[in-house]
Amino acid sequence: MEQRLEKNLEVIATRMAGDVRRQQILEIAMRLFSEKGFSGTTTKEIAVKAGVSEAMVFKHFANKEELYSAILDRKACNRSFPNPFELLADKIAAKDDFGVFYTMALNALDHHHEDCDFLRLMLHSALEQHDLARMFFESFITDVYEFLGSYIRERQKDGVFREVEPNVAIRAFMGMFVHHSLNNILWDKDQKLLKISNEEAARGFAEILLRGICK
């Protein structure tokens, strides 16, 4: 009985160590992909930076494509960041227009700030025309358009919002906070052009949108 218990504990410990190692490889790979792109990063370089052999990388991931896709699965499909739709549930139910758009913008800005590598990775992926960008768009961005679009249409029926194409409003809104994050992460890291908190930025973006679409 004791031997069986010890064996089970060893299996669990080995599995946990393997999970930690896999996570470490993922994090190193995402940083390198975000800096050099998919084609500019090798599995050998990932192994060196992670402090493991290249064979260990292949033990966890069959190839570089699988490693790249695993990053998306962890970041988007498994929602490693707060689900914006859940954060907005009470605001939607209360028809709190400012709360809906402020919370959406603030959540995005905070996530961009906390995970700069993923935003850079998405840019590299799009420029290289890699499937990762398309997969992220289909698994998350389209959901945002559908979610906010349905809310805008509902508020148009209530007579609160002007008759404007919902996707145009959403693109304008998302363009504000995405461009803000790109400036802070890529071009103006010292925020010389505009130095404000995420809360202030989210408030301003939400107010600008609502002044444009409210009657």
Q: Is residue 76 part of a domain?
A: no
pLDDT (average), residues 165-174: 94
Instruction: Say whether both 191 and 164 belong to one domain.
Output: yes
Instruction: Please say which residue of 71, 98, 118 terminates a domain.
Output: 71
| pLDDT value, residue 75 | 62
| pLDDT value, residue 63 | 85
3-class DSSP assignment, residue 161: strand
Residue 80: name the closest of 139, 146, 134 by CA: 139
Instruction: Say whether both 65 and 114 belong to one domain.
Output: no
Question: 115 or 113: which carries more pLDDT confidence?
Answer: 113
3-class DSSP assignment, residue 214: strand
Least confident range of 62-71, 100-109, 142-151? 62-71
In contact, 99 and 91? CB cutoff 8 Å: yes
| pLDDT value, residue 48 | 85
Instruction: Say whether both 143 and 52 belong to one domain.
Output: no
Those residues with Cβ within 8 angstroms of residue 170's Cβ, 6 or more apart along the chain or in another chain: 144, 145, 148, 149, 152
Instruction: Say whether both 66 and 93 belong to one domain.
Output: no
What amino acid occupies position 1? M
Domain harbouring 122, CATH code: 1.10.357
Cα-to-chain-centroid distance, residue 150: 22
First to last CA, the chain: 74
Residue 102: name the closest of 143, 148, 145 by CA: 148
How many domains does the chain divide into? 2
In the structure, what pLDDT confidence band is assigned to residue 128 with cuts at 50, 70 and 90? confident
In contact, 29 and 46? CB cutoff 8 Å: yes
pTM, full prediction: 0.68
Helix (H) or strand (E) holding 199: helix 198-213
Instruction: Say whether both 90 and 66 belong to one domain.
Output: no
Q: Is residue 78 part of a domain?
A: no
In contact, 161 and 99? CB cutoff 8 Å: no
Instruction: Please say which residue of 11, 36, 71 terminates a domain.
Output: 71
Instruction: Say whether both 108 and 133 belong to one domain.
Output: yes
Instruction: Please say which residue of 22, 49, 71 terminates a domain.
Output: 71
Instruction: Say whether both 104 and 184 belong to one domain.
Output: yes
- Residue 49 lies in domain: 2-71
Q: What is the pLDDT of residues 81-90, one digit of tens each?
A: 556 677 788 8
Domain harbouring 42, CATH code: 1.10.10.60
Q: What is the pLDDT of residues 182-194, one digit of tens each?
A: 888 888 888 889 8
Kindly state the DSSP code that residue 13 receives in the 8-state scheme: H
Q: What is the pLDDT of residues 6-38, one digit of tens each?
A: 444 333 334 446 678 888 888 888 788 777 777
Q: Is residue 12 part of a domain?
A: yes
